[in-house]
Amino acid sequence: MVYFIVLVNIKNKSDRKEYDDYIIKIKPIVKKYGGEHIVRNEQITALFDELQKPDRIIIIKWSTFKLF
């Protein structure tokens, strides 16, 4: 298994259009190459440093490195 972990910081939280448009475009590409979103969440609890907490976390899984 291969896991791709993305920590997202959204610059303008009041206008997420650019980010949301990107997500709409990337989802079918991930699926086309055998990726599976296993985590997409904005409810994040910082364990240590609240200043470094991302706005969103995404974890995508591929069954083999070749597909990744």
Residue pLDDT, tens place only, 28-61: 999 999 999 999 999 999 888 877 889 999 999 9
When the pLDDT of each residue in the chain is averaged and rounded to a whole number, the result is 90
For the range 52-58, what are the long-range contacts, defined as Cβ-Cβ under 8 Å and sequence gap of 24 or more?
54/7, 54/8, 54/9, 55/8, 55/9, 55/10, 55/13, 56/7, 56/8, 56/10, 57/5, 57/6, 57/7, 57/8, 58/5, 58/6, 58/8
pTM: predicted TM-score of the whole model, two decimal places: 0.82
CATH of domain 2-62: 3.30.70.100
